[in-house]
Structure 1
Amino acid sequence: MSEDIGGRGAPTRRDYVKYGGTVVGGGLLAGCSGQSGSGSTPVETNTDAGTETTTDDGGYTVELFPVGEVAFESVPESVTTYNMGWADMVVSLGQADKLQTNRLSAPTLFYDPLDIEYDNDWPPLWQEGGMPKEVFYEHDPDVFLVDPNMIQAWDDNWKDSDVEEIETNVAPFFGCHNRRMSSDWQEEMGYPDRAPTMLEAFDKVGTVLDERARTDAWLELHEELQSELQSRLPSDDDTPSYGLINSGSSPDTGEFYVMDMTDKGYEKKPYRDVGVVEDDAFQHIGGGQAKVDYETMLEVDPDVIIVHWGITTGSVTFDGDGAFDAEQFRENFVTPMEDDDVGSQLTAVQEGRVLPGPTAEQGPLVNAFQTELTARLFYPEVFGEPDLDAPLDVPEEEQLFDRQRVRDIVNGDL
C-alpha cells in the first residue's frame, strides 16, 4: 500500500512518521496494521502478527504504525514509556524489571494480587505542561515505547529534528498513541483506520522484547476469555440503557463529561467486548464528548451510570498505593448525586447503579481483569454481582480466566 505526497517536495520526517513506511519513488510505502472495522460490537482480536526481519549484522527490525520499520541491534534491556497501557504490555511479558517509568502506580491494583513488583521511581516524561528533551536523556533506555507524533502534538517545543536527535543519541521510538484516536492530528494522520489495536501493538512489543512464547500464551488466554464471555452474553434485546461519564466529572458542581462507548482505541475495548455500545445513552450528545448538567442527565436518564476510570480514580493516583477505596468513590461520585435535587431523581441513583468503570490504560494483563469486571458491572445476573468494596475480588467459580495461568505466563512457566 502506498500513499502519494505529490507536489510537496521531499518528504519530511513527519511525513515518514505519518505514513509509517519507507520512501519509495515519489510516494511512501505504508505499513498497514489494521483496526477493527465497522460494526455494532466489534471484538478486538489479533489480526496482525508481530513480524521481525533479521539484518545482516545480527540485529532485527520490527514494523509498527506510525513509526515504520525500527532497527534493533539487540534485545532491549531497558524500556521507557509514557502510557500505562504500553507499560502493562511489558509487565505482561514478565519484563517489569526493564521498565523505567513513573506511570505505573494505578496498575498496582491489578499487580499486587499477583506479587508483581516494579521500579516506578523515575522522573516523569511529562513535566510542567510539556516533555522536556533532557528527561529523555536522563532515562537513557534502549527503546522508548512512545509515539513521537504524540510528543510533537502535545509539546510545541518538539520538532522533527528533536525526535531525530533523541533517536540518534539515545534510543529509537517504538510506539503508537492508540488508546484514543479522536484528536485532529490523529485524524489527519489516519490513526482511526491504521493504528494497531491493543493486541496488535502488544504482539509487536513481544517481538521487540524477544518474548514470542509469552506473547502467544497471552493471545491464547485472551481468545479463551473472549470465547467464554461471548458464549454467556445475554441476547435479550430488552437490556438496560447505560451512560458513561468521565471521572473528570464533578457531581458536586453538576458538571458531567459524557463519553461515547463506540470511540476507537483500546480505551473502550471492555465496553465493546461486552456488547453494550448500542445501549450507550450518551453517544448522541455532542458527539459523545460533551459537558452536560444534571438537567440533561435527567432528560437522558440511563438505567446505569458508569464512571470511566472509576476503578482507579480518587483513591488511586500516580503517587498512591494502588488500592481501590469504595468509600472515596462514593464520596466523590454517588453522594453528591444523591444530595442534589435533580440528581437524586436519576434512575441509576435511585437504584444504586452508579458504578466504578474500568480505567482507560490497559495492556493484556489489566484488560483481562477489566473485561471480567465490565461483564459483572453490566450483566450481574449472568456473571455475578461485583463487590463494590473490592471490585476485582471474584469468587473462583465466577472467574472468566485462570489467575494461576496469568502468574505462570508472567513468570515464564509455559
Structure 2
Amino acid sequence: MSDDETTTGAPTRRDYVKYGAAVATGGLFAGCAASGTESPASSTEPTGTESPTAADTDTATDGSYSVELFPVGEVEFESVPESVVTYNMGWADMVVSLGQADKLRTNRLVAPTMFYDRFDVEWDIDYPPLWQDGGIPKEVLYELDPDVFMIDPNLFKAWDDDWDDDDVDEIESNVAPFFGCYNRRIRGEWQQELGYPERAPSMLESFEAVGEVLDEPARARAWLDLHDGLQSEVRSRLPADADTPSIALINGGSAPGEGEFYVLNLEDNGYEMKPYRDLGLVDADAFGGVETGQYGATDYETMLEVDPDLILVHWGITTGSVTFDGDGAFDAEAFREQYVAPMENDDVGSQLAAVQAGRVLPGPTAEQGPLVNAFQTELTARLFYPDEFGAVDLEAPFDVPEGERLFDRDRVQSILDGDVV
C-alpha cells in the first residue's frame, strides 16, 4: 500500500485467505468452504473494496518485513526465506529467474533442458509431490517444511474436499505461511466467486512480489527491464493486422486420432495466455464466439467450418519431454505422430488449410515466469510471423540464430548470476 494509507483495521492475511475478494470495510460477508473441484471457496459476492494485487513491503526495525498479495493479503516474514515450495511451475520459474533455484523444494520444474540447462541452472527435484492419491495430504507439507509456500491456499480448498480454513491455519501456524495466487488460468467458479478476474495479479506483478519476499529487488528490476525491451522490439516489428493468421489453439489433451479437440480461448485471463495477448493475437482467435462443448470440446467437422490458418497445440512444446525428472527436450517426431499425422490421415482433417500448409505447430507451455516467458514470447513471434522474425527449427525450437534473437541471452545469464549493475 502507499505511504498515505494506514493498516489500522485493515483485513488480515487470514481474512483474505478465507474470504478472498469478499472482504468489505467494516466486516465480512458469510461464506462456506469449498465442496468440490469447481465449487467456490466462498459463496460471497465480490465487493468493490480494493485488495492488494502486487507487492507492497513494510520493513520493521527488527528485520522482519511484510509483503502483500491477492488473495493472501499481508504476509509477514521474520527473515528472508531460505526454502520455498511451489506447485505451479510458473511460480517456480519466478524463483529460478531470481537466481534462487537452490531454494526450491519441488518435484515440478518445466522442461529444464529447453530453458535452464543453457544457463547452467542447478536444482534438486528429489522431493515428494504435493498431489498424491487424488488429494494434497497435509503430511507432505510437514515433510517439506519450507520457510514459505508460494501457493494459493484457495487452490487446495478448491481441488481437495478434505481441505478447509482450519487446515490452512494449521499449516501456517506449524510450518510456514502461504504466499501465492492461482493466476495461471482464471475461469473456475471458485475464482469467479472470489473476484480473481478483477483482483488477481499478473505474472509480472506476482514476480515483483516474489522479488520482495526473496529480497531480490535488483534482479527483479533487471528482469522487468529485459521484459520491456523484448516487448518493445516485438511490437515495433509486428505486421499489419491483415497479415495476422487466424488461429485455433487446441489443448495438448486433444486427441486428433480420435477426432477429439479441446479449444482454448485466447482472451482467457491468466498468465498462460500472456504470449498471445502481448503479440496482439486475441482478435485472431478463429474460435472466438464459436459454440463448443464442455472444456471447449469440438470435432473435425467444426474445425473445418472454422478452418483456421494455424493450429497451435497448447503445451505442445513439451511433447515427448519428461518434464519432471528427464531432460525435457522437445521431440518433433513425437509431436508429429501425436498431433499432425492423425489430421493428415483423416478424411476431414486433411482438408484443413492449416494441415495442408504444414501449419500444425507446437505452442508454448502454459507455465511461465520471466525466464520461460522470454523464450516463449520469442517462439510465438516466430511461429506466427516467420517472414519477420525467422522460422522455427522444430528440431531445436529455442535455438535461435544470434542475429534473429529478440533478447540477450548473456543478459539473462548476468541476471541469474547476480550481475545486475
Fold equivalence (TM over 0.5): yes
After superposition, the Cα gap between the structure-2 partners of 1:200 and 1:97, relative to the gap in structure 1 and judged at 3 Å, is: same
Counterpart among 338, 346, 351 of residue 357 in structure 2: 351
Counterpart among 390, 403, 418 of residue 397 in structure 1: 403
Match of 1:192 in 2: 197
Match of 1:160 in 2: 165
Instruction: Check the 8 A contact 1:308/1:360 in 2, yes or no.
Output: yes
Match of 2:374 in 1: 368
Letter in 1 for 2:313: V
Counterpart among 51, 67, 73 of residue 31 in structure 1: 51
Cα distance in 2 for residues equivalent to 1:21 and 1:30: 10
Instruction: Check the 8 A contact 1:21/1:30 in 2, yes or no.
Output: no
- Output the TM-score relative to the length of structure 2: 0.89
1:102 counterpart = 2:122:
no
1:314, distance to aligned residue in structure 2 (A): 3.2
Alignment of 1:126-205 (within 5 A): 126-205=131-210
Deviations along 1:60-117, whole A, 9 cap, x unmatched?
A: 0000000000000000000000000000000000000000000015243211111111
Cα distance in 1 for residues equivalent to 2:12 and 2:145: 29
Match of 1:118 in 2: 123
CA RMSD of aligned residues (A): 2.1
1:410 counterpart = 2:412:
no
Alignment of 1:80-99 (within 5 A): 80-99=85-104
Match of 1:44 in 2: none
Instruction: Check the 8 A contact 2:248/2:310 in 1, yes or no.
Output: yes
Letter in 2 for 1:61: S
Match of 1:248 in 2: 253
Cα distance in 2 for residues equivalent to 1:78 and 1:261: 35
Letter in 1 for 2:51: G
1:17, distance to aligned residue in structure 2 (A): 3.9
Cα distance in 2 for residues equivalent to 1:11 and 1:358: 37
Question: What is the percent sequence identity of the aligned residues?
Answer: 68
Comparing 52-61 with 21-30, greater Cα deviation is found at: 21-30
Match of 1:42 in 2: none
Letter in 2 for 1:392: F
Match of 1:222 in 2: 227
1:334 counterpart = 2:335:
no
Match of 1:51 in 2: 56
1:300 counterpart = 2:301:
no
Cα distance in 1 for residues equivalent to 2:99 and 2:79: 18
1:385 counterpart = 2:405:
no
Cα distance in 2 for residues equivalent to 1:183 and 1:329: 29
1:290 counterpart = 2:296:
yes
After superposition, the Cα gap between the structure-2 partners of 1:130 and 1:27, relative to the gap in structure 1 and judged at 3 Å, is: closer
Deviations along 1:256-291, whole A, 9 cap, x unmatched?
A: 001101101100000111111101011223479411
1:24, distance to aligned residue in structure 2 (A): 5.7
1:252, distance to aligned residue in structure 2 (A): 1.0
Letter in 1 for 2:321: S
Cα distance in 1 for residues equivalent to 2:167 and 2:22: 20
1:132, distance to aligned residue in structure 2 (A): 0.6
Letter in 1 for 2:93: D
After superposition, the Cα gap between the structure-2 partners of 1:225 and 1:66, relative to the gap in structure 1 and judged at 3 Å, is: same
Match of 1:45 in 2: none
Letter in 1 for 2:83: S
1:129, distance to aligned residue in structure 2 (A): 1.2
Question: 2:257 aligns to what SS in structure 1?
Answer: coil
Cα distance in 2 for residues equivalent to 1:212 and 1:177: 23
After superposition, the Cα gap between the structure-2 partners of 1:200 and 1:241, relative to the gap in structure 1 and judged at 3 Å, is: same
Cα distance in 1 for residues equivalent to 2:13 and 2:69: 18
After superposition, the Cα gap between the structure-2 partners of 1:97 and 1:25, relative to the gap in structure 1 and judged at 3 Å, is: same
Instruction: Check the 8 A contact 1:97/1:119 in 2, yes or no.
Output: yes
Instruction: Check the 8 A contact 1:70/1:174 in 2, yes or no.
Output: yes
Cα distance in 1 for residues equivalent to 2:13 and 2:201: 23
After superposition, the Cα gap between the structure-2 partners of 1:210 and 1:144, relative to the gap in structure 1 and judged at 3 Å, is: same
Letter in 2 for 1:367: N
Instruction: Check the 8 A contact 1:314/1:328 in 2, yes or no.
Output: yes
Comparing 229-238 with 114-123, greater Cα deviation is found at: 229-238
Instruction: Check the 8 A contact 2:249/2:264 in 1, yes or no.
Output: yes
- Output the TM-score relative to the length of structure 1: 0.90
1:316, distance to aligned residue in structure 2 (A): 3.5
Instruction: Check the 8 A contact 2:250/2:313 in 1, yes or no.
Output: yes
1:56, distance to aligned residue in structure 2 (A): 4.4
Alignment of 1:13-28 (within 5 A): 16-19=17-20, 25-26=26-27
After superposition, the Cα gap between the structure-2 partners of 1:287 and 1:145, relative to the gap in structure 1 and judged at 3 Å, is: farther
1:238, distance to aligned residue in structure 2 (A): 4.2
Cα distance in 1 for residues equivalent to 2:132 and 2:290: 34
Deviations along 1:311-330, whole A, 9 cap, x unmatched?
A: 01333432332111111111
Cα distance in 1 for residues equivalent to 2:112 and 2:191: 27
Match of 2:42 in 1: none
Match of 1:63 in 2: 68
Moved over 3 A (4+): 10-25, 27-30, 286-289
After superposition, the Cα gap between the structure-2 partners of 1:231 and 1:12, relative to the gap in structure 1 and judged at 3 Å, is: closer
After superposition, the Cα gap between the structure-2 partners of 1:209 and 1:230, relative to the gap in structure 1 and judged at 3 Å, is: same
Letter in 2 for 1:208: V
Cα distance in 1 for residues equivalent to 2:19 and 2:240: 41
